[in-house]
Amino acid sequence: MQKVSLKINGRQYQFVVAPDKVLLDLLREDMRLTGTKQSCDRKAQCGACTVIVNKKAVRSCVTRVVNLEGADVITIEGLGTPDNPHLIQEAFVLSGAIQCGFCTPGMIMATKTLLDQNLNPDDEDIKKALAKNLCRCTGYKKIFDAVKLSAKFIRGELTPAQVRPDPNGPKLGVSHPRPSSMIKACGVAQFGADIYPEGALELAVVRSTEEHAKIISIDTSAAEKMPGVIGTMTAKDIKGTNRLRFIFNDQPILCDTKVRTLGDPIAIVAAETQKQARAAADAVKVVYEKLPVLKTVQEAMARDDIRVHDEFPNLVYQQPQIRGDAAKAFKEAAAVVECDFSTQMNHQAPLEPETTVAWLEGEEDPILVVSGRSIMIHTHMSALQEGLGYENMRYEEPFSGGQFGIKASITTEGISGAAAL
């Protein structure tokens, strides 16, 4: 452990930290400055965690605190508040540069660093300054507009009042800011991972290292003895159906008899910290018996004797699209070209990782706070898989960091809900 002194948002602090502690964890976990976001699995690839250190934009997810002795750190919370926003925050709101808002704090901090050095940036300057900050929603045009408007505000050429639409004026035909824009611009809008209930445990999931295999045994004994571990959980501990449903009841919350893909969830570890939970999850031993792997759609359709899901055929669903008379069109065509067409599967890839916070109200009524969508469908599915009545579950949705359709399916809710029960 090492003592470190640094300034954060104008106040002096002293911390005693481990050598591997990063600034992102210090800000979020120790100081609850949750405007700084984590997205990219701590690889400095997305920019959501950008803060200013000694007047430079840095990625806090890879910045070790022990290297910051005497540093001056500014986070989005130190820039301005909804009641007293910085001119850059005003510009992002008034330019319509904020949609889901998950990337916005990092974008604003990168913009602040740019404009502190250059109050007349051109498009290339802006592109270079924001090159490490990803946005999944906007297409960047409105963000570029916001940077340019910020510069005009700071140069004194315009004021926010001159740009802001008249609140008493017409509502139709006028571009009004999104109601949630300012709290997103100031980093105080709460997304799923920003919610820290008092005394909450952290979960880590043991995931499959095989693509297709029977589960012979799961040994959690070593994990249960590790520091900070409160308990472990496997499929046998789930009270309900242990099946997630979107179209069919085919996805286990925790795999019981076999795994069907790399990363399938097998067990849960609950511990006092995420680091302890992750270390214990790595200590869980799973013995597999490998099964044949079907890597393509064509292989799966040709081998119904090898089923991905034992209770369903590999061709589980089809939806023919018929338009016109194909036979007639072929007969009358001057030429007919035959070819097989396929397309890759794309993940929608919102910046916000999937997150669920779960706790019990009373003895057995779970409350799930989920960064998802489709609240009524998910409540129904979660109740079934946990063995509860629909009326016994409350499902809440905070701000969602993008979704693009992927959060219509249910994922972390099952794991967190099962652990809470």
- For the segment 91-102, the average pLDDT, to the nearest whole number, is 95
The SS3 assignment for 299 reads helix
Rg (CA), the chain: 25
pLDDT greater at residue 304 or residue 289: 289
* Token digits of residue 86: 């910085």
- For the segment 302-331, the average pLDDT, to the nearest whole number, is 88
Topology at the third CATH level for domain 2-78: Ubiquitin-like (UB roll) (3.10.20)
What does pLDDT average to over the chain? 89
Rounded CA separation 352/371 (Å): 8
CATH 3.90.1170.50 in the chain, residues? 202-293+348-420
Rounded CA separation 115/112 (Å): 5
The DSSP code sequence of 347-405 is ----SSPP-EEEEEETTTEEEEEES-S-HHHHHHHHHHHHT--GGG-EEE--B-S--TT
pLDDT tens, 209-227? 999 999 999 999 999 999 9
Which pTM value belongs to this model?
A: 0.86
- Is 80-189 in CATH node 1.10.150.120? yes
The secondary element (H helix, E strand) that includes residue 291 is none
Rounded CA separation 269/282 (Å): 10
The CATH label, of 3.30.590.20, 3.40.50.300, 3.90.1170.50, 3.20.10.10, for the domain at 202-293+348-420 is 3.90.1170.50
pLDDT tens, 36-69? 999 998 899 999 999 999 999 999 999 999 999 9
Closest CA to 417 of 400, 396, 398, 401: 396
Per-residue pLDDT at 130: 96
The SS3 assignment for 224 reads helix
Rounded CA separation 365/388 (Å): 8
pLDDT tens, 115-144? 999 999 999 999 999 999 999 888 899 999
CATH 1.10.150.120 in the chain, residues? 80-189
Amino acid found at 309: H
